[in-house]
Structure 1
Amino acid sequence: MKNFIAIILFIAPHFIYAQMDSLTMKNGDLIVGEIKKLDKGIVEMKTEYSDVNFKIDWHGIQNMICNTKFAVTLSNGDRYFGSIHSSDKNEFSITTKDSADVSIDPKNIVYLKPVKDSFINKLSASIDVGYNYTKANSLSQLNTNIYLAYNSKKWIVSLKINSIRSVQNNVDPIVRDEGELTAGYFLPKDFYSTASISYLTNTEQSINLRAITSVGLGKFIVHTNKAYWGISSGISYLSESFNATTDENGMTTTKPSNLSTEWYLGTEINLFDIGDLSFNGTAKGYRELSSNERWRIDAGANLKYSLPHDFYIKTGYKMNYDTQPVEVGKELDYQYTLGFGWEL
C-alpha cells in the first residue's frame, strides 16, 4: 500500500504537468501554466505560482507545447482548431481535431483562444471615466465610456456606449450620448460580414435622436499580432429627429424628421505593439442614395496607456461632420476626452 501511494505521489506531478501548457522564452526561462488567450501580440497565461495572469510578448517565445485545444487565427484569415507544439522557433505545428499536422510560421499567428472556455473568459470589457474643470469660465465636463464584447469561434458581438456632459455658466448644458451594438461574422481569407445598430443624441448639433442600422462586408488589409487594419462597405438606414432651434430673428422652428438610405465606407486601425501604448482609430463616411447633396463623416481615435492590474489611462477624440446640419454653421462637432479606467 505504501508503495502504491509513493507511486501515485511520484506520477501525479508529472501527470499535472503534462496537462498544462509550457512556454520556453528566448532568454531560456520556462513558464508552465494554462494559456488563456493570445490577442494583440500578448499571451495571457495562468500559473499556479501567481494570483495574477502573466502577460507575455508573443515575440519573446522560443518554443511552446500546449495541451489546450485552441481556436487559432492566422494573418491570412485561415482558422484552425487544435493544439500547438513546436521544436523550432521558426515553425510551429497545429494538430487539428482530425489528427492532421499543419505547419505555420509563428509570426502569422494573430489570435489564440481555448475552444472549451467558460462564458466569462470569452468576454472582454472596459470602463473609464474622466472629469475636467476650467475655473476661468466655470466649465465642467464628465465623460464615461463603456465597452463590452463576446468572442466566439466564428463571430463577435460588441457594445460601445459613450456619454459626455458639459456644463458652463450662462450657456445651455451640452449633452452627447452615443452607442453601437455590432455583430461580426468571420469569413475565409480575412473577409467578414458585419451588422450594427447605433444611436446618437447631440444637443450641440440639435440632434434629438439619430438611429442607424447598417449591414456590410469587410476585409482585413493588415492582420498581424502587431496591427489590424480593415475596411468595410455596405448599406445603412438612417432615422433622425431634431430639437427645436431659434434663428437670428428669434423664431423657433423644428426641422422635420428624416428617413433615408445611405451607402457607407468605413475603416478601422488598431496598433498594439508599441510597449504599454495602444492606438485605435475609426472613420466612416456616409453618402445619401436619394440625393448626392448630403454626406456625413463619423470618426474617432483613442490612445491608451496600460497600467498595472489592468488599469489604464486613455485620451480620446470624437468627430461628427454633416454637410446639411440642422443649424447653419454647426456642420462640425468634436470632443477631446481624458479618462482613467479598468479592463477585463
Structure 2
Amino acid sequence: MKRLALLLLFTLPLFSNAQDLDSLVMTNGDLIVGEIKSMDRGVVEIETDYSDSNFKIEWSGIQKMFCHTNFLISLSDGRRYNGHITSTTPETFHIISDEDGTVDVTPNDIVYLKSVNQSFLSKLSANIDLGYSYTKANNLSQLNLGTFLGYTSNRWSATLTGTSLRSTQDNSDDIARNEGNLTGNYFLPHDFYFTASAGYLTNTEQSINLRLIFSGGFGKYIIHTNTAYWGFSTGASYLNETFSPVTDETTGQSTTADPRSSAEWYLGTEVNLFDTGDLSFFTGAKGYRSLSNEDRWRADVNANIKYDLPLDFYIKMGYNMNYDSKPAEAGKEVDFQYTFGFGWEL
C-alpha cells in the first residue's frame, strides 16, 4: 500500500505537467509535445524537454494541434483573440476564448501567435545587431548598430527602433548618422489601425543637426497572411529641424541655415516577405509633402534582408535612403547607406 502511495505521489505531477503541454501532429504523422512560444512569419517555435534549444517548425507542416497555452492570436482579416487552440480535422482549428467563446477558422487564417501570461515581459520582443567594415585602400572604417524593442497586446502594439552609423576615411570629413523612432498602433476591425509616432534624425552628411518629426494617421493591411504582409498608411506630421554649419570650400566661410518648422502630409507603405526558409525581406517607404512649402518633398526608404542562424542569431544586410528636395546644403538632396551586421533576437 505504501509503495502504491509513493508511486502515485511521484507520477501525478508528471500527468499534471503533461496536461499543461501543447501537442502538434505533423503532416508526416510525427507528434511533437512541448510548449508553443510563438508563430510568426509562418514559423512555429516550440520548447520541449528533450532538446536544449527550441524547435522551429513550418506552420504549413502542422496537421492538428491541441494546446493548453494561452495565446495572443491574429487572423488574416484583422480579428484578434486571447485564447487557446484545438483541432479535430486538418481543415478547421478552434479558437477557444473566454471573451468570444469558440471561433472556427482555417489554419491559413491564423497569421500570428504569441504565448502570453499576465506578465509584462511575456509580451516583449527585442533584437540587436552590430556591424563593422574596413577598407585598406582609403583607410575607410565603418561601424553600425541597430536595435529593436517591441510590445504586443491584443488591441495595440508599440515599437522602439534605433540605428547608429559612424564612418571615417582619409581626406574626408567623418560621417555620423543616428536615427530613432517610437511607434504605437491601435488595431481596428478588418485590418485597419490607428498609428502615431515620434522620431529623430541627426545626419552630418546632410548637415542635419537635429530633425524631430511627430506623425499621426491610420493604415490598413492589404495582404496579411502567415507568408507575407503588405500595408499602407497615411496621415499628417509636424517637422522641426535645426542644421549644422556649412563651410564654403571657395571662401572658407561658414553659414548655418535657419531652423525650419512645417506641417506635412505623408503616405507610407511596408512589405514583409518571409515564406523563404530562413530568409526574410522587409522594405518600408514614406513620402512627405510639405503643406507650408509646396515645393518641398521628402522621402525615407529602408530595406533589409535577414538570414536566421541557430540559437536566435542572425545576419542582416540593410539599406537606408533619405531624400530632401530642399536640403540645408545644396547638392546634398540624397543620402544613403549600406550596412551589414550580426545580431541576436529575443
Within 5 Å, which residues of 2 pair with 1:208-227? 208-227=209-228
- Using the size of structure 2 for normalisation, the TM-score is 0.96
TM-superposed deviation, 1:320:
0.2
Q: Deviations over 1:22-60 (max 9, x none)?
A: 001111111111111111111111112223221111111
Does the Cα contact within 8 Å between 2:82 and 2:154 map onto a contact in 1?
no
What aligned pairs does 1:299-310 form with structure 2 within 5 A after superposition? Answer: 299-310=301-312
Please point out which of 267, 270, 277 is paired with 1:268.
Answer: 270
Amino acid at match of 1:268: E
The number of residues matched between the two structures is 344
2:343 alignment partner in structure 1: 341
Q: Is the 8 A contact 1:115 1:153 kept in 2?
A: no
Distance 2:314 2:170 in 1: 32
Deviates more, 1:79-88 or 1:309-318: 79-88
Distance 1:98 1:308 in 2: 38
Identity %: 58
Q: Does 1:163 align with 2:190?
A: no
SS in 2 for 1:172: coil
Residue segments in structure 2 that go unaligned for 5+ positions in a row: none
> What aligned pairs does 1:132-211 form with structure 2 within 5 A after superposition?
132-211=133-212
Specify the alignment match of 1:277 in structure 2.
279
Aligned-partner SS, 1:171: coil
Residue 57 of structure 2 corresponds to 56
Equivalents in 1 of 2:287, 2:128: separation in Å? 27
Q: Is the 8 A contact 2:115 2:122 kept in 1?
A: no
- Asked if the contact 2:22–2:69 (Cα under 8 Å) also holds between the matched residues in 1, the reply is yes
Q: Cα deviations across residues 70-124 of structure 1 (Å, max 9, x unaligned)? A: 2211000011222211111111111221583221011110011234253333211
Distance 2:214 2:36 in 1: 37
Aligned residue for 2:293, secondary structure, equals coil
How many Å separate the matches in 2 of 1:269 and 1:116?
30
Letter in structure 1 aligned against 2:273: L
Distance in 2 between residues matched to 1:342 and 1:68, nearest whole Å: 25
Q: Separation in 2 of the partners of 1:78 and 1:99? A: 11
Aligned-CA RMSD value = 1.5
TM-score (norm 1): 0.96
Residues 269-314 of structure 1: per-residue CA shift (max 9 Å, x gap): 1111101101110100000011210010000000011111111111
Q: Distance in 1 between matches of 2:53 and 2:142?
A: 35
- Greater CA drift, 7-16 or 313-322: 7-16
What is the aligned partner in structure 2 of residue 313 from structure 1? 315
What is the Cα deviation at residue 135 of structure 1?
Answer: 1.0
Question: Counterpart of 2:334?
Answer: 332
Distance 2:176 2:44 in 1: 40
Q: Is the CA contact (8 Å cut-off) linking 1:298 and 1:319 kept in structure 2? A: yes
Query: Are the equivalent residues in 2 in contact too, given 1:317–1:335 (CA < 8 A)?
Result: yes
When residues 285 and 98 of structure 1 are mapped into structure 2, their CA distance, relative to the original with a 3 A threshold, is closer
SS in 2 for 1:121: helix
In structure 1, what residue type is equivalent to 2:124?
L
